[in-house]
Chain A
Amino acid sequence: MAAQPSLAYRVKQRSRAQALGDVGNRLLPYLYLAPALFFISLFVLWPVARAFYNSLYDGNLLFPYREYVGPERYVDLLTNARFHQILIQSGYYLLLMLAGAFVLPVLLAIVTLNVTQREVGIFQSVFFLPTVIAANIAVSVWVWFYNPTGGLFNTVMKAFGAEPVTWLRNKDTVIPAVALVAIWKQFGFHYLIALAGLKSVPNDLIQAAAVDGANNRTISRRIILPLFGPTALFLLVITLIQGLEFTFVPIEVLTRGGPAGASSNLIYSIYQEGFRTFRVGLASAQSVVLIVLFGGLAYVQYRMLERNVQYDR
């Protein structure tokens, strides 16, 4: 539990590198990296480069370069009210995902520390269940839940005398309804990680503090939270970066972005323009915007994560 990003650590690393240097073979690390980087470059980075290029043209999947549009594409896109709506909705989705797939799992994990070990096993197992079901399958049950007439939700509401709600057709309820499904599908995995992170905080440390007279709040703030920090950050990164991806299948199965685009977001919009209306140039430009936004976000998070992980050590 060193409190310093210690010099010793760095020295240790350097000597390790010398020991394993295989008599200074400078090529070695590159050889180890080559296969992975080859695949990443070919199937991820190259498509990104293509997206930049394609975004300057109008065209479909078959003829992506039918007409040159140029940088004007981005002016059009960034001043387009429809696109602004999509950006705002993306932010709304991310907020909901943060609440449901980050805050909620962490809180539940903290609460779990209060129950017996056997119960923990049950909760862990059950919460994780939706994660192991294919998304398209898991979501199909919810189609039936949200059905405005024969569905479970409105049947229950009817039993209580409330007016039925067209959950997926109302612009105010549709995003929370879709996000709920994405959260249901994902949160168990995050709960698992949060719980393991919490449990890795040594118990004797907590007990020692309690013996020293520290109250629960002090223990939480001074001991658990700093040690839990890296795990929490890791979860935050996953949630923010993949949050929109988690919502993709629920949107596709439940609403296809409707009503009138009210449940669409950046990822779904890219899919829709690329694969549904076959406007590859527009889809590519939206991809570029997405990568720039996420890249910035990820960079900040990565720096924080790096610092904290080292701090922990």
Chain B
Amino acid sequence: MTASASERLASRVILLVALLVVVTPLVYLVGLSFKAPEGIFANPMAPFSWPLDLTNYRNVLAQMNVPKFFLNSLIYAGGVTLGQLLLAIPAAFAFSYYHFRFKNLLMSLVLISLIVPFVVTYVPNYLLLARWGLLNSLVGMIIPMLGISVGFGIFLLRQSFQTFPKEVFDAACIDGANSWQVLWRVLAPASLAPIVSVAIYVFIITWNRFIWPLLVGGGDPASYTMTVAVDIYYNNPESGSNWGNLMAASVVSTVPTMLMYIALRKQILRTFTEGAVKG
């Protein structure tokens, strides 16, 4: 579609306005983290004040065990991502390449699982974990999450697996590979793009989850994730939030996902729909 010069200009203006709206809160998030604790609210119009004050960062790094909480977040998000892929890939494979009894029923169950909001599942799952003695552990945090949004991965991967050229399979089967081998040696490598997209998506939403890690791991600093730690340390309604520290801790906890996003941006952008949605 060829756009005229005026259309192009209008488009730019619209996008720039949107950009401004999106960016402003982020600028303040970073700016407040560099303000001195006293007088942090003194001038709302100026997100930054010079010179930059590092007190908040010093406090955060001294008070919070950042490497530990970071590692916890990494284990939690990584564990959920890996686990979901291990579950979703074979399931998506079964749904896209086999005909079997109850296929539609089982697929419906998967889809139903997607619409169940977390508020319904958190209490029973919490009690289950309590019974198993898995509270305040990362294992306990991970296991129920393997069931909770795995349907998303199954759904997306199934769409993408269905488009895989059949000839490749025939060839592989003639060469004597069984379906397990076909799945992991042919289909999975060939579908790397959608698999990586799903992985990134799951990783980011899991890393950012808050209520569940707070519920399961909030009782013991050994199992705090970054999001939980930030909340427990600096968002205390009893004493009032310590805003400068809260913002600094937020920046610190956001940096890893931000870096990951920047590093993998092209990959995310390219694969998100080309592989997954359009099919």
A29-B94, A135-B208, A193-B273 known; 20 other A-B pairs, CB under 8 Å?
Answer: A12-B166, A20-B98, A22-B178, A28-B98, A43-B128, A123-B19, A129-B22, A132-B208, A132-B257, A133-B208, A133-B250, A134-B208, A134-B210, A144-B28, A152-B45, A196-B270, A245-B117, A283-B123, A287-B119, A298-B112
Task: Tell me whether A150 and B26 are in contact in the complex, defined as CB-CB below 8 angstroms, given that A40-B150, A126-B19, A234-B277 are known contacts.
Answer: no
Q: Are B119 and A274 in contact (CB under 8 A)?
A: yes
Does B38 interact with chain A (Cβ within 8 Å)?
Answer: no
Give me the interface of A with B, judged by CB distance under 8 Å: 12-17, 19-20, 22, 26, 28-30, 32-33, 35-37, 39-48, 50-51, 61, 108, 111-115, 119, 123-138, 140-142, 144-145, 150-152, 155-156, 159, 184, 188, 192-193, 196-197, 200, 206, 210, 216, 219-220, 224, 230-231, 234, 241, 244-245, 248-249, 252, 267, 270-271, 274-275, 280, 283, 287, 290-291, 294-295, 297-298, 302, 309, 312-313
From A119, A142, A197, A234, name the one whose CB has the most chain B CB atoms within 10 angstroms.
A234
A181 to chain B, nearest CB (A): 9
Scoring B residues 87 to 130 as 1 if CB is less than 8 Å from chain A, else 0, what string do you get? 11011011101111001001001111111111111011101100
Q: Are B8 and A142 in contact (CB under 8 A)?
A: no
- Which residues in B have their C-beta under 8 angstroms from that of A131? 204
Q: Give the interface segment out of B10-18, B52-60, B64-72.
A: B10-18
B247 to chain A, nearest CB (A): 8
Q: Could you say which of A42, A197, A216 contacts B277, with CB atoms under 8 Å apart?
A: A197
Main secondary structure on B side of the interface with A: helix
- Which residues in A have their C-beta under 8 angstroms from that of B98? 17, 20, 28-29, 32
Q: Could you say which of A22, A126, A159, A200 contacts B274, with CB atoms under 8 Å apart?
A: A200
Q: Are A134 and B227 in contact (CB under 8 A)?
A: yes
Q: Are A130 and B22 in contact (CB under 8 A)?
A: yes
Q: Could you say which of A14, A51, A129 contacts B26, with CB atoms under 8 Å apart?
A: A129
- Which residues in A have their C-beta under 8 angstroms from that of B208? 132-135
Q: Who on chain B is nearest to A187 by CB?
A: B22
Give me the interface of B with A, judged by CB distance under 8 Å: 1-3, 7-8, 11-12, 14-15, 18-19, 21-23, 25-26, 28-29, 32, 41, 44-45, 86-88, 90-91, 93-95, 97-100, 103, 106, 109-121, 123-125, 127-128, 143-148, 150-151, 154, 159, 162-163, 166, 169-170, 173, 178-179, 182-183, 204, 207-211, 226-227, 230-231, 235, 241, 243, 246-247, 250, 253-254, 257-258, 260-262, 265, 268-270, 272-274, 277-279
Task: Tell me whether A47 and B32 are in contact in the complex, defined as CB-CB below 8 angstroms, given that A40-B113, A298-B114, A302-B111 are known contacts.
Answer: no
From A15, A28, A113, A192, name the one whose CB has the most chain B CB atoms within 10 angstroms.
A28
- Which residues in A have their C-beta under 8 angstroms from that of B32? 141, 144
- Which residues in A have their C-beta under 8 angstroms from that of B8? 114-115
- Which residues in A have their C-beta under 8 angstroms from that of B169? 16, 19-20
- Which residues in A have their C-beta under 8 angstroms from that of B2? 210
Q: Are B109 and A40 in contact (CB under 8 A)?
A: yes
Q: Who on chain A is nearest to B124 by CB?
A: A47
Q: Are A36 and B90 in contact (CB under 8 A)?
A: yes
B169 to chain A, nearest CB (A): 6
23 contacts between A and B (CB under 8 A): A17-B97, A32-B91, A33-B95, A39-B87, A44-B147, A47-B120, A48-B121, A51-B124, A112-B11, A114-B11, A115-B11, A119-B15, A123-B19, A124-B269, A128-B265, A130-B26, A134-B209, A134-B250, A140-B247, A141-B32, A150-B44, A156-B45, A192-B272
